[in-house]
């Protein structure tokens, strides 16, 4: 069948099913083709039980050629869209990651695939706005260290540039870290740096401003942080940023599976923290939104979107700055880590909290964990990443916010 054009009906994460035609290239192995015409770089395999081809997306979604039934193809996973209207129960505890929005208990890894997609949809509907599908055309041209990217969709075009710093030694292709606004962590000399001016894409000082909105219109539902997410190369790329850019790096990796390592630094709430926990520890007299317990999601579910075998998340935080919410950050991450444990990838998630007065500074005490995560996920080394530490003096009591148990998913 290699070299024969086939028709696939695929449902990329968050988008409607559409028809895609492709053909294996001669240099590729018969049996596997990589599809680059969709947001997820699905892989086509020719070894389906009934001899037909299947499309396996990074989200785990599989739709079979000629639409044979789910019963005859047990590997096919159909993830439904969210209902148009949903009634959310008020819950002061962190929502159970293993309970779907319609009350289905998650007991297997295949069920988690759809729960993960559901969480993404919840965030898009209630917090971040909708991430659009892949544009119709993207081109790039390199001039020195500047890469100009032109994006075209719906008859409109916009462009932006990133700056690339490659290692002084070694051989390309290099692993790379996308640094939001340049980043603040010391990027290793054997890893390329892609400096990304994310505020040019979606400004955070005014609604509907930036190159994303030039392309999709100022009234598009997408908020700034999710507009920053759709830029990742194919593999071995990380993302980092500090403060609000740390939130951006967290969201980018949560919604873009091709980012295999995220290193959000001092992002506080909206990145490391949970709103319910921050809400509970507010001092008397502080104004806050009083409907937080009605949220169908919280920050631990954002962390859970990273829980896959080959992706890493290291949260770099600071216990000396109260407005970052050190207590919330640690307990929220601890709740999210339960999903990693359920999927047997506990070492893929780390947190490092260190007290220092310089917001977005990087103390030497945090270097070992940064080195470990970069070595494992970007450089392919067999490095231990069992990092879970804080110097915070707060009482560690996760039971205050968690009333559910994590199953073993396989």
Query: Any catalytic annotation for residue 243?
Result: yes
DSSP code, position 319: T
DSSP code, position 208: T
Q: 25-41 burial, b if ≥16 CB within 10 A, otherwise e?
A: eeeeeeeebebeebbbb
In the set 184, 243, 271, 334, the catalytic residue is 243
Cis, bond preceding 173 (omega within 30 deg of 0): yes
d(CA 371, CA 356): 20
In the set 70, 126, 220, 359, the catalytic residue is 359
Q: How far is CA 204 from CA 17, 158, 191, 194, 235, in A?
A: 32, 19, 29, 21, 28
Residues 6+ apart with CB under 8 A from 56: 42, 43, 44, 45, 62
d(CA 117, CA 104): 14
The beta strands (E) that lie in 46-95 are given as 54-56, 62-64
SS3 20: strand
Query: Any catalytic annotation for residue 87?
Result: no
Residues marked active site are found at: 243, 359
């Amino acid at each position: 069948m290699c070299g024969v054009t086939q028709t696939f009906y695929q449902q990329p994460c968050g988008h409607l099913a559409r028809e895609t035609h492709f053909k294996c290239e001669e240099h590729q192995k018969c049996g596997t083709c990589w599809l680059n015409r969709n947001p997820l770089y699905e892989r086509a395999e020719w070894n389906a039980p009934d001899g037909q081809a299947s499309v396996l997306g990074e989200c785990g979604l599989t739709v079979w050629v000629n639409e044979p039934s789910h019963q005859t193809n047990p590997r096919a996973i159909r993830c439904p869209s969210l209902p148009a209207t949903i009634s959310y129960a008020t819950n002061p505890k962190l929502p159970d990651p293993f309970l779907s929005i319609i009350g289905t208990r998650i007991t297997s890894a295949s069920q988690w695939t759809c729960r993960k997609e559901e969480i993404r949809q919840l965030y898009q509907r209630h917090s971040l706005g909708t991430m659009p599908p892949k544009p119709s055309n993207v081109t790039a041209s390199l001039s020195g260290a500047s890469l100009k990217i032109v994006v075209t969709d719906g008859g409109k075009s916009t462009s932006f540039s990133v700056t690339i710093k490659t290692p002084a030694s070694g051989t390309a292709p290099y692993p790379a870290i996308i640094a939001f606004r340049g980043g603040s962590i010391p990027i290793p000399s054997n890893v390329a740096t892609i400096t990304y001016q994310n505020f040019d894409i979606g400004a955070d000082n005014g609604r509907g401003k930036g190159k994303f909105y030039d392309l999709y219109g100022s009234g598009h539902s997408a908020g700034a942080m999710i507009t920053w997410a759709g830029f990742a190369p194919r593999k071995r790329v990380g993302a980092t940023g500090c403060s609000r850019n740390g939130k951006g790096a967290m969201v980018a990796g949560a919604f873009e599976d091709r980012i295999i390592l995220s290193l959000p630094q001092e992002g506080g709430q909206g990145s490391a923290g949970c709103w319910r926990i921050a809400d509970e520890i507010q001092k008397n007299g502080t104004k806050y939104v009083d409907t937080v317990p009605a949220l169908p999601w919280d920050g631990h579910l954002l962390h859970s979107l990273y829980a896959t075998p080959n992706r890493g998340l290291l949260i770099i935080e600071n216990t000396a700055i109260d407005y970052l919410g050190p207590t919330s950050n640690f307990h929220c991450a601890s709740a999210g880590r339960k999903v990693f444990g359920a999927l047997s990838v506990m070492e893929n998630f780390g947190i490092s909290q260190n007290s220092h007065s310089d917001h977005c500074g990087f103390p030497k005490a945090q270097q070992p964990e940064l080195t470990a995560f970069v070595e494992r996920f970007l450089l392919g080394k067999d490095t231990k990443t069992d990092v879970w530490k804080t110097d915070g003096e707060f009482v560690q009591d996760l039971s205050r916010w968690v009333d559910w148990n994590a199953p073993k998913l396989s």
